[in-house]
Structure 1
Amino acid sequence: MARLTLLGFVLFTLGLAGVIQLTAWVTTIRAELPATPDLAELPVSVAVVDRNGALLRPFTAGDGRWRLPVRKAEVDPRFIDMLIAYEDRGFDGHEGIAWNSMARAALQFVGAGGRVVSGGSTLTMQVARLIEGQPTRNAWGKLRQMVHADRLEDELGKDDILDLYLTLAPYGGNIEGIRAASLAYFGKEPTRLTTAEAALLVALPQSPEARRPDRDPEAARRSRDMVLDRLVTMDAIAEEEARAAKLEPIPIARREFPMLAAHTAEAARKAQPGARTVQLTMEKRLQEALERLGAARARMIDPKVSVAILAADMETGEILASVGSAGLLATESAGFVDMTTAIRSPGSTLKPLIYGLGFELGLAHPQSLIEDRTTAFGGYVPVNFDGFNRGTVTIHDALTQSLNIPAVVVLDAVGPARLVSRLRRAHADARLPVDTAPSLAVGLGGVGISLRDLVGLYAAIGRGGMPVTLRDGVGKPKPESNGVSAPVLDRVAAWYVADILADVPPPLNGTPGRIAYKTGTSYGYRDAWAIGFDGKTAIGVWVGRPDGAPVPGLSGITGAAPILFEAFDRLRNRRAPLPKAPPGVLFASNTELPEPLRRFRHPNDNLVARIASPEIAFPGDGVDVDLGLREGQEAALTVKVRNGVPPFTFFANGAPFGRPRFAREGIWQPDGPGYVTLSVVDAEGRGDSVTVFLN
């Protein structure tokens, strides 16, 4: 009996000593544990999202890992159920340690001679290990993990612990957290996962490198199927569901993370340092569609050509899509350059504002007549894009045909300084050459401006002349001076311009009247533009080379306009008709207009210099013209004239054959082959002659 009492005392003493030692260890471990991380401050990837919270572009965390912020509520509930069933069935009930699992693990440890067979770790203990980043394949590491888990349970709720696991769990390489893993392996957010996808994401954190599907798809398949089988035995899923899930293929490569609105996203990240989530005004669906459109069109034109597209809500100024290039990584076309903000020559895209000022000042009406004839302004003599003059045209037709000479005549009347001032009212940063005042060249592209500013200008025209500040979520919009925005144009003038632009002939892929738009081509075929709007959205397109090199044959109507119309096709439910006419609009033909508006007259016609004499543009002097006369065919010769003042009288060998009222061409039917002298005389008695051979 005495021996038993002594044995009991010895065991009690040893047990008490063990408890004291264990308590000392626990105290030491608790003192060494890192602070419990605040999920709101945990280093994660910056996520740039669209107006609805959809991911546009993530950036790696400071340590180079993809670790995207995520909460339990943002993950498929089916995955959560499968994770808990497989990893920690008692998660909701224990306080960080599952003692029955730990006892089983301890017995296996002893039976295996000190080698860990199964961990018995709870999800809380796994979170503790992830926080510390230390291995726990030994008794001391396991004890430390248990102590840490106990503290986590004291300081956090179950959902917070799950959020930490969902954010920190390793999935191979530099992928951490379920959101990054779902995007990397399935190309989608984890809000909706198939049973097979969820099972794979449950299996990977146990051995992320060995089971990586992009390195060993077969190992990944085996681990997924093992999870499915175990869930069946636990009655967590049906056997039929598991069987169907096993038929789903395993991803064999990592997908690229989204890189939408790449230029704007980068600017937004830099503008908001420290932010975990940065929200832009873009719509992901539209952004993605327009990026595909721009890249496809650029490939069709030239590998060195880039495309920029910008779409904005005219009422709010929110930018709905901003495509800065044909692809951020497109090296030949300098894809890293954001061409929505680049300063370029706008070509003819400022003409609508020029005519709008003429309407506003009472100098003209869309049906007013204006002369398209060579006019010199000092040493500046503008010519039309095709080199031909049309004679007397309406201002409506001068704008729809984008004639240069009438636009400069009107600009000379309204004043280049007023044009630049109105651009600034539209919040456009018009760049003039250093130390120069605005000149008439501004009207045809002699100024620098960005695509973003042009879209803002057209948005102002589309909303009745009232300016709107475009914003994309990067920084704060520019405040209006004194809180007041002066109109770019009055409502009637803006409507006249929009109504004319709705009549501009569309490209081959377009439908007339759907949008109001204008094209432009800068000098030397360096920039092709197309800017337009409907009743709700303004869109601008730029095509060209970022290095400013010419692209022979590139023009607004052939290069940019088709992209513009396709961009409007992708708006879907945002389409809206053009606005109705406001009070004060005068609907009248030219003959019904008040006398002062029937013909555009410069306020000081004496300032407009000489009118050039008429010239026969076709046929050229001394050329042979093949009309098929030698074969006995009957044919007519069209004689075309440029410059001069209509009406014109046409002669063949001294005999008149036509005197059209406004037309700049005469049609003559020769008797047979041979030489002929063709002449023309304008209304002021000036003439020109050519001699040609007809055969």
Structure 2
Amino acid sequence: MKRIGSFGRRHPKKLILLAVLLIAYYFCLPKNLFKSPTATVVESKQGSLLGAMIADDGQWRFSEVDSVPSKFKACILQFEDAHFYQHPGFNPIAIVKAIKANISAGRTVRGGSTLTQQVIRLARNGKSRSYFEKFIELIWATRLELNRSKEDILKLYASHAPFGGNVVGIDVASWRYFGLRPHQLSWAESATLAVLPNAPSLIYPGKNQIKLLDKRNRLLKKLFEKQVIDQTTYELSLLEELPQKPYPLPKTASHLVQYLAKKNKAERIKTTVDENLQRNVNAIVQKHYQNLKQNQVHNAAVLVLDVNTREVLSYVGNTATTKEHQKDVDMVQANRSTGSIIKPLLYTAMLDAGELLPDMLVPDVPTQIAGYAPENFNESYSGAVEAKKALARSLNIPAIRLLQQYELEKFRDQLNFFELGGINKPADHYGLTLILGGAESNLWDLCKTYANLASTLNHFNTSSSEYFKNEFTDLILKTDQTVDFGKLSTEKTVFDAGSIYLTFQAMKEVNRPEGDESWQFFDSSKEIAWKTGTSFGNKDAWAIGVTTDHVVGIWVGNADGEGRPNVTGVSSAAPLLFDVFDVLPRSKWFQKPLDEFTDIEVCSQSGYLATDICPTKTISIPNKQNYVSECKYHQMVYLDQAKQFRVNSSCAELASAVSESWFVLPPLMQFYYRTKHPSYKVLPPFQKGCSNNSASPMDFIYPKNGSSITLTKGFNGKTNELILKLAHTKPETEVYWYIDETFVGQTKNFHEMAVLPSKGKHRIMVLDAYGNEIVVSISIQ
């Protein structure tokens, strides 16, 4: 320090200059050497390339590698810079030899640059080749050696070296020229890539094969002579062929790449996607696409989730169709009409609210609500059906009636909790069609919702009967992310575990597609809770399946919204669903959450709470206040001794009559119920002389009271007739039809009457042979 101080006093200007030079040297190297844009790179959980999007400058340039493959490192050091680990960034001996050789030849025949200098040259891309530029490269190279480790410098070179055309970096080069990951390259393949950056435009693969082969083989010989490889490896490597043309980069999950690039552009993303499963699902989708396109159905999407981690295991956004048929549209994220796919949410909500029992009969008859007349998919009616079977069979009319009973607005508000994309309008906008596909959502959010329900049930059974507060969370796509389920609580998150379990039990009974009807009889079968959905006009076919470990979601249709015949959840989406489940590990069925259940007595025929006069059975339901009424379909009747006629106090001594509990449905329900249940017994008629004050045995099927009807015209220009339909508990009874007190005809067995009323309001009355009367008022437009 004294000498420096003395020198400073004697030569202050030189000291200042020296300090300025040292400061300039310290700050001469940019913090970020490379600012070129990089590609968006998406990898599987195993580290394999699923797909990529080219960088903004049109170059295939991946982000910096985290390690340099050992074979490529050995090759590049022997070919470019054998003394890399000994020099300080430049090699004086190599520089002197290069200058002498170039002067002697009168042109540049040899370079003296080290790998460190080449990294600087790549970073200063576009600078003219001059001695001054060489001087700057040398200064920067020494500064880089002080700033970064040798391994870091090697990674910079491997990441930014040119490999011909628009291929930059070892990662892209190994995929483009050999279709392999860099660490999977052989010695011959590594040697081929090591010689490319030296003259990438001159020996681009597929061109100048002799020159490229000569360079590669000379490098292999050097590796053998330096004992880097043995003789057998050397001889076998010489036999390997050169790449003839670039391979296309993998497109194993192209729509996932597009999706991630929106928020992670120019990043390298390691996803949770399982490579083998993704390839299997791609093959399954392609197989089904070959069949679907015969019906001019061109698009499909599949999403596979891990229930316990919320990880996305497979993401197929569309089929390998054409641009004309919207192959680039990501149908995992696209909002489409939900069809019946959210019916299980209503079923769970009503169980959770204590307003539904699994075996409770729900009317399944022609229905008109405020001008809306829903129909079942098969356009038939059951009269009455158990709630769980209505869900399993995806019947529309029971769903509409249950939603009306539960209240539309209450259910719409509950859907907010699931954050279903596309369902963002008030209840009045959707009306009761909400449950049949009047709203739109996407495969991502629907699968997430079912995964959350399954996880709620799993966690309840493994956490001393408690719920996680953050159970309903988003899905995980990156390996560096995990789900935070929050703290445990005795309070349910949305639905209790018992209601979810009963819903899954009902969904397990859904009839499988053709060929799998007897699935439950095979030991290899998988127990799956699943649901299909079909939108109006056969535009969207859905299927979602749930097990304790996985959720599989399927959408099939045309991205442009064109409907096609026979495009249904059962026929189009479900076969794909079960093929995907076939490549997944088998899961155990959900464990029953015993702490959430209590036993009650219900009527064995109606499913309502038991009364003193109906046969009963014991069932388990969620342990909560129950708002379901007592059975209203059983009534005590009095019969004569022969049990042929009913009697009452007006015609018989009740003490001598036979009393019996009788299952009785209202006329309209009974009319359809009998067609599905031949064992149903109608009430016997009253004995002659008995007065009958019971409810009418008739009911209108169509029209309903207060209906406003518009009569259409046929192709011949004539107004079509109005068809009046009636249900009678005894169809063989004659009935008499009147419009505005005017007799228009009588019917027997099949009670239908074609009429042509004038515009305006009308009163339709029907009398049967026993004097029973029913009346409706309608308006003709």
Question: Is this a same-fold pair by TM over 0.5?
Answer: yes
Q: Which residue of the other structure, out of 195, 199, 202, is the alignment partner of 1:207? A: 199
Q: Tell which deviates more after alignment, 583-592 or 120-129.
A: 583-592
Deviations 1:386-419 (A, max 9, x none): 1122344333322222222222222222122232
Amino acid at match of 2:670: V
Q: Residue 257 of structure 1: CA displacement?
A: 2.4
Query: Is residue 318–residue 470 contact of structure 1 (8 Å, CA) maintained in 2?
Result: no
Q: Residue 356 of structure 1: CA displacement?
A: 2.3
Matched residue SS, 1:645: helix
RMSD over aligned Cα atoms? 4.2
Number of residue pairs aligned between Structure 1 and Structure 2: 603
Deviations 1:500-530 (A, max 9, x none): 1112122347644531100111111000000
Query: Is residue 33–residue 148 contact of structure 1 (8 Å, CA) maintained in 2?
Result: no
Distance 1:409 1:234, change over 3 A: same
Distance 1:257 1:85, change over 3 A: same
Distance 1:429 1:118, change over 3 A: closer
Q: Residue 207 of structure 1: CA displacement?
A: 1.4
Amino acid at match of 2:513: P
Q: Tell which deviates more after alignment, 167-176 or 586-595.
A: 586-595
Q: Which residue of the other structure, out of 335, 360, 368, is the alignment partner of 1:343? A: 335
Query: Is residue 125–residue 145 contact of structure 1 (8 Å, CA) maintained in 2?
Result: yes
Q: Trace 1:415-434 onto structure 2 (pairs within 5 A).
A: 415-429=407-421, 431=423
Q: Residue 560 of structure 1: CA displacement?
A: 0.7
Q: Which residue of the other structure, out of 188, 191, 195, is the alignment partner of 2:183? A: 191
Distance 1:202 1:585, change over 3 A: farther
Distance 1:690 1:226, change over 3 A: farther
Amino acid at match of 2:99: A
Distance 1:277 1:546, change over 3 A: same
Query: Is residue 309–residue 322 contact of structure 1 (8 Å, CA) maintained in 2?
Result: yes
Distance 1:222 1:496, change over 3 A: same
User: Is structure 2 residue 276 aligned with structure 1 residue 251?
Assistant: no
- Partner in structure 2 of residue 319 of structure 1: 312
Deviations 1:187-239 (A, max 9, x none): 22212221111111111111112222144445433332232123223333223
Query: Is residue 423–residue 457 contact of structure 1 (8 Å, CA) maintained in 2?
Result: no
**Normalising by the residue count of structure 2, what TM-score does the alignment of the two structures yield?**
0.68
Distance 1:437 1:167, change over 3 A: closer
Identical aligned residues as a percent: 29
Query: Is residue 431–residue 448 contact of structure 1 (8 Å, CA) maintained in 2?
Result: yes
Query: Is residue 314–residue 468 contact of structure 1 (8 Å, CA) maintained in 2?
Result: no
Query: Is residue 34–residue 132 contact of structure 1 (8 Å, CA) maintained in 2?
Result: no
Query: Is residue 298–residue 306 contact of structure 1 (8 Å, CA) maintained in 2?
Result: yes
Q: Tell which deviates more after alignment, 527-536 or 396-405.
A: 396-405
Matched residue SS, 2:183: coil
Q: Residue 185 of structure 1: CA displacement?
A: 1.2
Distance 1:486 1:214, change over 3 A: farther
Structure 2, unaligned runs of 5 or more: 1-17, 458-466, 521-525, 618-625, 633-666, 683-725, 734-747, 753-781
The separation in 2 between residues aligned to 1:272 and 1:235, in whole angstroms, is 44
User: Is structure 2 residue 749 aligned with structure 1 residue 688?
Assistant: yes
The separation in 2 between residues aligned to 1:437 and 1:136, in whole angstroms, is 67
Query: Is residue 530–residue 556 contact of structure 1 (8 Å, CA) maintained in 2?
Result: yes
Q: Which residue of the other structure, out of 235, 260, 269, is the alignment partner of 1:268? A: 260
Q: Residue 450 of structure 1: CA displacement?
A: 1.9
Q: Tell which deviates more after alignment, 300-309 or 216-225.
A: 216-225
- Partner in structure 2 of residue 495 of structure 1: 501
**Normalising by the residue count of structure 1, what TM-score does the alignment of the two structures yield?**
0.76
- Partner in structure 2 of residue 468 of structure 1: 472
User: Is structure 2 residue 531 aligned with structure 1 residue 518?
Assistant: yes
Deviations 1:47-87 (A, max 9, x none): 3445565544433334322221234x533212212221222
The separation in 1 between residues aligned to 2:372 and 2:482, in whole angstroms, is 39
- Partner in structure 1 of residue 679 of structure 2: 661
Q: Residue 148 of structure 1: CA displacement?
A: 4.2
- Partner in structure 1 of residue 584 of structure 2: 571
Q: Tell which deviates more after alignment, 232-241 or 311-320.
A: 311-320
The separation in 2 between residues aligned to 1:136 and 1:383, in whole angstroms, is 77
Query: Is residue 509–residue 565 contact of structure 1 (8 Å, CA) maintained in 2?
Result: no
Amino acid at match of 2:527: R
Q: Residue 463 of structure 1: CA displacement?
A: 3.1
Q: Trace 1:551-630 onto structure 2 (pairs within 5 A).
A: 551-572=564-585, 575-583=586-594, 584=597, 586=599, 591=604, 594-595=609-610
User: Is structure 2 residue 580 aligned with structure 1 residue 534?
Assistant: no
- Partner in structure 2 of residue 547 of structure 1: 560
Q: Trace 1:617-656 onto structure 2 (pairs within 5 A).
A: 645-646=670-671
Matched residue SS, 2:670: coil
Q: Trace 1:133-152 onto structure 2 (pairs within 5 A).
A: 133=125, 145-152=137-144
User: Is structure 2 residue 94 aligned with structure 1 residue 101?
Assistant: yes
Deviations 1:640-684 (A, max 9, x none): xx976159889xxxxxxx9922499xxxxxxxxxxxxxxx98535
Distance 1:509 1:538, change over 3 A: farther
Q: Residue 263 of structure 1: CA displacement?
A: 4.0
Query: Is residue 28–residue 140 contact of structure 2 (8 Å, CA) maintained in 1?
Result: no
Query: Is residue 647–residue 682 contact of structure 1 (8 Å, CA) maintained in 2?
Result: no
Deviations 1:305-330 (A, max 9, x none): 21122223334434333322225x83
